[in-house]
Chains A and B, each alone.
Chain A
Amino acid sequence: MYQWDFSILWDYRWIFLQGLGVTVSFTLAIIAGGLVVGLAAAIGLLSRFAVLRGVSLGFIEIFRCTPVLVQLIWCYYALPMLAGVEMTPVTASLLALSCYGGAFYAEIIRGGIVSIDAGQSEAASALGMTPALAMRRIILPQALRRMVPPLMNQSILQFKNTSLVSVLAVPDLVYQGQMAAHDSFRPLETYTAVAAAYFAILFPLTLFVRWRERRSEET
């Protein structure tokens, strides 16, 4: 019988905390980056110019139909050769995960925007608003409310996806866990602790999103 001994992990608490800090800040960064990318792609999808619609759709499908791990590796090893720029693992990870998240955010944002009654943009136009002003003041504020639960669901996935950056040696929670496991020869305890940390953060968030979804259905 294996003798569990979690006390050994106490020596590594600062490494774990550092890793968790990197994971959380990475998540926040790729949620922000993903929302910017997603909003741009969604507006492209709704554009009256066929070229913009095509580019947006192409972008979205490329990132939805390839594995995110492959995108990470491609951004780090292949993109610098193509573009002729050096990229740190952090930059490559931020870029890949923001684009990946953005591709999914774009569909959510587009859906939210088209769900707003056409009369709203008609009324805004009739008052002399340009399409851009109407989008910013009238359509988006209403659409955002409807988008919140699905956007939060997608952001939870983004939190889990950050674990992949460990393959590029970004010192996130998983990477630090690997370090601790090698050092302590206690992989069972370390990886269990890592999994528990993800669960402890995500489970309450999932409950919160479910509660929000129920509430928005009621109103």
Chain B
Amino acid sequence: MTTSQTAMIDITGLRKSFGPLEVLKDINLQVKAGGVVALLGPSGSGKSTLLRCMNLLVVPDAGRIRVGDTTFQFGASTERPGTKPLAAFRSRTGMVFQNFNLFPHMTVLENVIEAPIHVRRLDRKTAIDLGMSQLEKVGLADRASQRPQTLSGGQKQRVAIARALAMEPSVMLFDEATSALDPELVGEVLQTMQQLAADGMTMVIVTHEIAFARDVADRVVFMRDGYVVEEGPAGEVINTPRMEATKTFLSHFHKGAI
């Protein structure tokens, strides 16, 4: 078990409701620095909402979130944080979306350097050097001057990863990063993510790619109905799940594997 002192992400007592629907019910979770955690679970289990709470794209109703050395406390008695502290907090976490969400009115390089220039306030030259080196890392430096519309899905997602990395975040969050891709394009994105994990990036991954979770994540968190049902080392949870819900969820995967 990681201790809260060395954890990069520390979540305590997190709750979130959308109207009458309680999506997250008392979530406690830690991710150690350099750790890779996969969030698994059926759709509607709350895993995407939990991920979006980690960079406060979704603001929780109650609980505490710490990423790095920034802590936010939520509850009926605490005021909702203002837009400036929220933005500053988000600038230190990178997020990759299912639908890429690249900016279509900018070139690939402009996509990558937009936030470094306007949020981190780097000068243009430094930002371009940084942006090109990130594009290099995902193997798309030669596409820098193209529009995102001209790229394949896999290339778009790699640009989105480079764009997030250009903020030099302490944590990367992946929200079903391969779910919108044609099957033959999934590999290149997973490979980029695997490389990132090998480089020591702290990562939280919401995914349906069970085999990838087993091979790349060091821990797996299985969620259902807004609860963490089971948590442990990736190989253990996926190969020998203890809880009935986890077994049921993974049975399709195991059938396919055998």
**Chain A residues within CB distance 8 Å of chain B:** 117, 119-120, 122-123, 125-133, 137-138, 141-142, 145
Contacts and interface: CB of A to CB of B under 8 A. Distances in A.
A158 B95 CA distance: 45
Given A126-B55, A126-B57, A131 B101 contact: no
A103 to B, nearest CB: 28
Interface of B: 55, 57, 83-84, 87-95, 97, 99, 101-105, 114-115, 118-120, 160, 163-164, 167
A129 B104 contact: no
B119 A128 contact: yes
Contacts of B99: 119
Contacts of A130: 83-84, 87
A127 B131 CA distance: 14
Contacts of B164: 126-127
Contacts of A125: 57, 87, 90
Nearest to A134: B87
User: What is the predominant secondary structure among interface residues of chain A facing chain B?
Assistant: helix
Contact of B115 (A119, A122, A129, A132): A129
A133 B88 CA distance: 13
Given A122-B57, A123-B97, A128 B103 contact: no
A137 B101 contact: no
A20 to B, nearest CB: 37
A146 to B, nearest CB: 11
23 contacts: A119-B99, A120-B103, A122-B97, A123-B97, A123-B103, A125-B87, A126-B55, A126-B93, A126-B97, A126-B164, A127-B91, A127-B164, A127-B167, A128-B89, A128-B91, A129-B87, A130-B83, A130-B84, A130-B87, A132-B83, A133-B118, A138-B114, A142-B103
A122 B105 contact: no
Given A138-B103, A142-B105, A127 B57 contact: no
A142 B118 CA distance: 18
Contacts of B84: 130
A128 B122 CA distance: 14
B49 to A, nearest CB: 13
A198 B103 CA distance: 41
Contacts of B160: 123
B114 A119 contact: no
Contacts of B103: 120, 123, 138, 142
Given A119-B97, A122-B57, A129 B105 contact: no
B92 A127 contact: no
Given A127-B164, A128-B90, A128-B92, A122 B119 contact: no
Nearest to A138: B103
B119 A133 contact: yes
Given A119-B99, A120-B101, A133-B119, A126 B90 contact: yes
B190 to A, nearest CB: 21
Nearest to B93: A126
B16 to A, nearest CB: 17
A123 B119 CA distance: 13
Contact of A129 (B57, B95, B119): B119
A119 B83 contact: no
